[in-house]
Amino acid sequence: MIQFFQVYKTYPGNIEALADISLKIEKGEFVFITGPSGAGKTTLLKLIIRAERPDRGEILVNGRNIARLKNSQIPLLRREVGFVFQDFKLLNHKTVYENIALVLEALKYKKREITKRVRQILRVVGLEEWVIKQTPLKLSGGEQQRVATARALVKSPSILLADEPTGNLDPGLTVEIMNLLEKVNHLGTTVLVATHDTNLVAKYKKRALPLYRGKLVG
């Protein structure tokens, strides 16, 4: 469960990213965070994994108070939350396997378990076996997005955050990725998708939290 209580965030230069945000997302929900570019969607997601700190207010994620979390506890929080970045953040000099395995290595999984889990998660996101030894730049945009999603899911997070996951994809691939996120949600993972695409929100009929200039509207 995710809860925000009157959260404020301002960036240097007095740029107000979020103001007075209060919200509640239940376990197992699928929620859109919507709004135009610069509305504060990415900042909101970053606050959930403590990549940013709120200036004011409290944030609870799975019972942890994010604003007051000790540095040593941040890794524990991040293990429960998967993040699909807008620009994928794949390491282009590493293979698909290495990109995904890196997460499990960081979580100190054994080598045999890593191999098993990477293969499993690639099947879940619908990628074929041949992809495993490729580097990201040899893959299409849709395939890269799936690899990024696989990397976020491989540690079995209870919450998945996706920042504009369909931003760079054509309509056909967008449907595929959205179907994948719905599938993950049906398996019990709470899913938050940040998007500026109003058509997408209208089509999938999920709860939407509209942001405009850092404030929740409507």
CB of 90 to another protein, least distance (A): 9
Residue from 47, 84, 103, 159 in contact with another protein (CB under 8 A): 103
156 binds another protein (CB under 8 A): no
Residue from 53, 89, 116, 138 in contact with another protein (CB under 8 A): 89
69 binds another protein (CB under 8 A): no
51 DSSP assignment: S
Which range in 8-16, 57-65, 78-86, 171-179 contacts another protein by CB under 8 A? 78-86
CB of 151 to another protein, least distance (A): 8
3-state SS, residue 142:
helix
CB of 131 to another protein, least distance (A): 19
Rounded to whole angstroms, how far apart are CA atoms 88 and 86?
5
Q: Write the binding mask 199 to 218 for another protein: x where contact by CB under 8 A, - elsewhere.
A: --------------------
CA quadruple 122, 126, 131, 137: dihedral, nearest 10? -100
State the burial class of residue 187 (Cβ atoms within 10 Å of its Cβ: 0-12, 13-18, 19+).
exposed
CB of 152 to another protein, least distance (A): 8
Which range in 9-17, 30-38, 100-108, 136-144 contacts another protein by CB under 8 A? 100-108
**Beta 207-212 vs 215-216: how paired, if at all?**
antiparallel
Residue from 75, 141, 171, 188 in contact with another protein (CB under 8 A): 75
The residue length of the chain stands at 218
Tokens 């994809």, residue located: 169
Rounded to whole angstroms, how far apart are CA atoms 167 and 162?
11
71 binds another protein (CB under 8 A): yes
3-state SS, residue 104:
helix
Q: Write the binding mask 1 to 40 for another protein: x where contact by CB under 8 A, - elsewhere.
A: ----------------------------------------
Rounded to whole angstroms, how far apart are CA atoms 121 and 153?
7
DSSP 156-176: --SEEEEESTTTTS-HHHHHH
Residue number, 106 or 187, with CB nearest to another protein: 106
160 binds another protein (CB under 8 A): no
**Beta 30-34 vs 207-212: how paired, if at all?**
parallel
194 DSSP assignment: E
Tell me which residues touch another protein (CB under 8 A).
49, 51, 71-72, 75-79, 83, 89, 91, 102-103, 106-108, 110, 151, 155
